[in-house]
Structures are given as C-alpha cells and as structure tokens.
Chain A
Amino acid sequence: MVPFAGYEMPVQFEGVKPEHLWTREHAGLFDVSHMGPCFLYLKEGLGQPGAHEKISALIERLVPSAISTLKPGQGRLTVLLNDEGGILDDLIITRMPDANLDGMLYIVVNGAAKHDDWALIREKLAGEAELQTADDRILVALQGPEAEAVLTPHFPEAAELSFMRCAHVQKDGERYMVSRCGYTGEDGFELLLPNNETGLAYVRGLLADERVKPIGLGARDSLRLEAGLCLYGHDMDASRTPVEADLQWVIQKSRRERADFPGAEKILKQIADGPAEKRVGILPLERAPAREGTEIHVEGQLVGMVTSGGFGPSTDGPVAMGYVRADLATPGTKIDLMVRGKARAGEVTALPFVQPNYKR
C-alpha cells in the first residue's frame, strides 16, 4: 500500500506484470474511488428547454471542448485550463442521459487535483451552477475485453453503450452511473456506486467472477502508458498547453472558431505555428527502461525529458513518453536516453504502443 492523493492505495496484488496482462486478456477491476466524480447543474431550469446549452455555456468558460454539442449520455475528455492556457487537470464531462436532468453534467476529475478543481469551478460559476461532489461514493473501473460480458448481468444497460456513452440507473432512490470509458486502452466501464452495502455487493459480485481480478496502481500505470494516455502531474501540468501535450484534438472546431476559452490566444497561435516542444512517444531501443526524469539528448545536447517511462508487459519491452523540441518530434527521430549517465539508443515513435480496443 502506498499513499496516493490522500488515500492508501494498493500498488499490486499478485504482481504488476500478471495484473497488466490479465486486464488485456480478461477483465481487471480498479478501485478509483480516490478520483473526483461530481455533478454540476443549473441552479434553476433543470430539465427545461435550453438547459443543456445553458450549463454548457458555463463550463465552456473553463474548458476548450465543445460541451454544447454532446448528445444525451455522451461524454468527452477535456482539460481544465488556466488563463495562460496551462492544463490544470484532465477530466471527462458527460451530459446526463435523462431529459428531465438536462442542465446537469456528470464530471470526473483526477483525485490529486479534485479539491482545487472543484474550488475553481465553484468560484467561476458561483450563483449560476451548483456543484455536488460524489467522491464519498464507490468509483470502480472494470477494464478488459471481457468487461462487457462480466458487467451485463449486473447492469443490462452496459451492453447498449458505445465508447464514451453513459447510462444513469436509479435503484432504491440511489443514483448509479455506468460509463463506457477507462484509462487502459481496453474496452471497459467506470461505475459510480453508492457507498453502502448495496454498492459493495456489486463490487464483490464483480470480483467473484472468475474472469475478474483486482488490479493495483502499478498495472494501472503500465496499461495507460502503453495506451499512450497522459498522467496528470507527469505528462502534463500547468506549464503545458493542450497543444504541447498533443491533446489539441480535445479542442473542437467550433471552439477554435469562437476562441472563447482560457488562454485561447496562446493556444490558437500554437495550433497555427506549432509549439516549441511537444509530447511524443519514446521507444528505448535497448532493454534499459527510461523512467521519468531521464534526459533526452541529440548530438550531446539536451533536447527533452522523459515524463513517464517503464516496462510495457504487453509490448515486452521498455516504453516511455516525454517532451522533445518540436523539430525532433517526427516518429523515427533517433535520440539518446541518458539512463544513469549512459547514453542509451532510443527513437521518437507514434503513440499508442498498444492499439486501443474501444467499442465505437
């Protein structure tokens, strides 16, 4: 067990590698209750015509993605920006599926940043929207090719969902959220459950399935790294814009045209001219892993830094990502990875290392 975001979290159960491979072949259950689920809703006019447009206009002050164009039950990855266009957090914003809850968004932010995120949203939207936190509930992720088959007997709604779609289930007056998403590159779901015996019974029921094993933080990290997904505080932070982090795809065309998000001037200029540095995949060509903090050199010059790195159990070799000077960001560019003072051969590569298995 290790301290993480104010919680005690398991690094591993039977081992990082077997847990990682199990998730890619079967289904892994991750306790992500440390994360920050919450509901943001209009103070007035919930479920009335135009309510989604109103709540979208509010949250779009803080994020560069088009929230207004979300269909009922649809979610989208986005980033919370500061006024300089720096990334304060990454988050998933979902439009509630129910017509009578139009004007309410289901938002999940990172555990380490949740208190700051919530304070910022409340401050910026004071008087117009209410934020109800839900991190006192159980949040688990079920990930892997067998996740749908495992989950469907418990939540038949799950089978109907495609990637980034969400169902809202009311049972005994409790709100359950079933979202088809995750952070492993595999198909899977995130479940928000009540923190009581009923909620726990669902978790036990999933764990009792022989296709499911509990997975710790170690494999969660190696799975997301192989999938080329950023870890906040490592692969992106307030000093990086979405363009530098290679996340400009979260900024839809309508938002670029309106240029009405924080740091828009800087970000749009970077989209047009290219950033000075960019996040890329890094493939060490020798067996030594290049971990976070490893310097990247070209011809003896420091040109970048590894921000996440380790060993990929599915690729059976070291994998990494980091930032390099933009002129070196082309896949195939040869680089030196300075591991414990020794230059180890590597190259810039396209992400992800493992192709995603999402149900589109």
Chain B
Amino acid sequence: MTQFTQQTTFYTEDHEWVTVHGDLATVGITRYAAEQLGDVVFVETPEVGKTFKKGDEMAVVESVKAASDVYAPLSGEVIDANSMLADSPETVNEHPEGEGWFCVIKFSDGAETRNLMDKDAYFEFCKGQ
C-alpha cells in the first residue's frame, strides 16, 4: 500500500486539489476552479463516515451562476468535513487552496494517485482549457 511520508499535493482534471499525508487526503477545489465559478454561495460537503469510490459525486459547490459537482479524487472514507463552509461559503473564493478545503478522506488505495497531476502538469492542463 502506497504511503506518503511527506505531504504531497496532486491535482485532478476536474480542478480539485488533493494534499496527501500518510493515508489521509485533504480535498478542495483549485484557485482556477474558484475563479471560473465566481462567487460561491453554497457548499454541500460530504457526510463524515460516507465512503466513495474515485470519481463518485462527493460534494456540490454552487455559485450564483450554477451548481457544480465535486468528484472524489481518491476512493475512501470521509473522516472530516469543513463545517465552516456552511456559514461562510465565500471562504472558497478567498482561500480555495487553504481554509476553503472541503473534506478529509482516509483513502484506501494510494496507487490511485498515479493518474493525478502534479503542480506543473496541472498548470499546463489549465493553460489548455
């Protein structure tokens, strides 16, 4: 089983960031995604204790414009969710890659990180969008 002794951040094609450490992954949406969405008005974070397979709809982020799904970047169980977003969804715009995190997943298969992107690859990916 893949373990991450050092904190490492990966990115998905759906514009999520995933910071893994040990067998835990903190998940949020990228600054690029937050800017594309515009003002975030509501976030539905996943319930603690729920398990997801990689690619499942896990959370929803709503801007003034529309509702967008957030997909599980790795398979596993949700062990924490950011309760601050219920009252302060604008945190996602202000600090998308910090205080605006969505949830923490205890992931079951570290090998799933292999088809995620590193920072440079994600930067190139965004340029092509």
Contact = CB atoms under 8 A, between A and B. Distances in A.
B62 A17 contact: no
Contacts of A11: 65
A340 B44 contact: yes
B41 A287 contact: yes
Given A17-B39, A287-B41, A222 B60 contact: no
A20 B38 CA distance: 13
Interface in A245-301: 287-289, 291
Contact of A288 (B39, B42, B65, B87): B42
A17 B86 contact: no
A68 interface: no
Contacts of B39: 15-17, 313
A103 interface: no
B1 interface: no
A12 interface: yes
Contacts of A311: 41-42, 62-64
Interface residues of B, number: 15
B67 interface: yes
Interface string B66-82: 11000000000000000
A15 B38 contact: yes
A16 B42 contact: no
A218 B65 contact: yes
Given A15-B39, A16-B38, A287 B64 contact: no
A291 B66 CA distance: 9
Nearest to B69: A340
B89 interface: yes
Interface of B: 38-39, 41-42, 44, 60, 62-67, 86-87, 89
Interface of A: 11-12, 15-17, 20, 218, 222, 287-289, 291, 310-311, 313, 318, 340
